[in-house]
Amino acid sequence: MGSHRRLASSGFDRGAVALCLLSAATAALGAVPAHAAPHGDTRAEVDRLYQDAEQATQAFDKAQERAGALRREVRDAQDHIARQQQRVNTLREQLGSLAGAQYRAGGIDPSVALLFSDDPADYLDRASTLDRIGAHQAGQLRELQSAMRELAQERAQAAGKLAALEVSRKAVAAHKRTVGEKLARARKLLNALPAAERAAFDRTSRSDDSGRVDLTDLTDLTDLTGGAATDARAAAAVAAARTALGRPYVWGANGPSGFDCSGLMQWAYAHAGIQLPRTSQEQRSAGRRIPLSQARPGDLVVYRSDASHVGMYVGNGQVIHAPYPGAAVRYDPVGMMPISSVTRP
């Protein structure tokens, strides 16, 4: 694990993660101050905007996931409704054929009235008529009654799913707008900085150093050297993540051409045959928690108490992760920001 070429460290810390938190972020955008802010204030404001966008992105990811599940449920419900409608039509045709035969034989059973009623239950509930139809007809009528009740229930459930899907679509659109507004404002602030300061901004910490983790100060981190993956699946996930190095950060994306932080983890582990949940907060619970000192390649390193960012430990005190907009998937020190937990899928 120690033979790979380490990319330039970003000094990435609490404000430098882009777009990976499971929680709704719908706070309104504040007004941009009319006066020009000092450059230090600009950097802090960009940090805050990235963090806000990160929250909205995880909400976007979750809403997208929910919308996709609802679309599948609606499609399945519509398929089942079509089959159930065909069953009802077939039962009506069978009863109609039987009624026609009775008519040609010189008499019409009262059960034929069912064919002219929208509610078979009304007919069947008239107990006085049941002794006037044969057992076979009664069974067919009851089967039709049951099929129509099921059909009505399935249509009501499908209508509920369609309504929920519309709500989810609106949530997706709202979170998408929020992310776009936050990122546009951050870009505007960054573009106002001198070119040298913009370049320095991507190389150094995006806020003060109070949240950084010094590798020499934590016992848990001093023992993190090389080591092998715990099993073949973890090794496969690490190998997949390494193939993504250099691909751009794209909020809401889970590959293959771009990723947000949790999207990269989900994509890499899918190559190992493991389906991780979509968001970093969910991924925190997608396996066994282990002490940081026992981290092995393939383990998920989750950052901040709110699980707003996630990376994959690859050995030698480093993680692979998708950092923030404008940055590519890369290596960074595992202690780039406060670590909340380590999960072994």
Q: Which residues are catalytic?
A: 261, 309, 321
* Burial readout 266-301 (b: 16 or more C-beta within 10 A, e: otherwise): bbbbebbebebbbbbbbbbebbeeeebeebbbbbbb
Determine the distance from the C-alpha atom of residue 306 to the mean position of all C-alpha atoms in its chain, rounded to a whole number.
17
Dihedral, 14, 212, 304, 68 alpha carbons, nearest 10: 50
Cis peptide leading into residue 323 (ω within 30°): no
Q: How far is residue 30's CA from residue 12's CA, in Å, rounded to a whole number? A: 25
- DSSP string over 198-255: HHHHHHS-SS-GGG---TTT-HHHHT------SSHHHHHHHHHHHHTTTPBB-TT-BS
Whole-angstrom distance between the N-terminal and C-terminal Cα of the chain? 20
Using CA atoms, how far apart are residues 210 and 198, in angstroms rounded to an integer? 22
Identify the burial level of 318 via C-beta atoms within 10 angstroms of its C-beta, where 0-12 means exposed, 13-18 middle and 19 or more buried.
buried
Residue labelled with tokens 């882009």: 18
Q: How many helices (H) and strands (E) does the chain have?
A: 9, 6
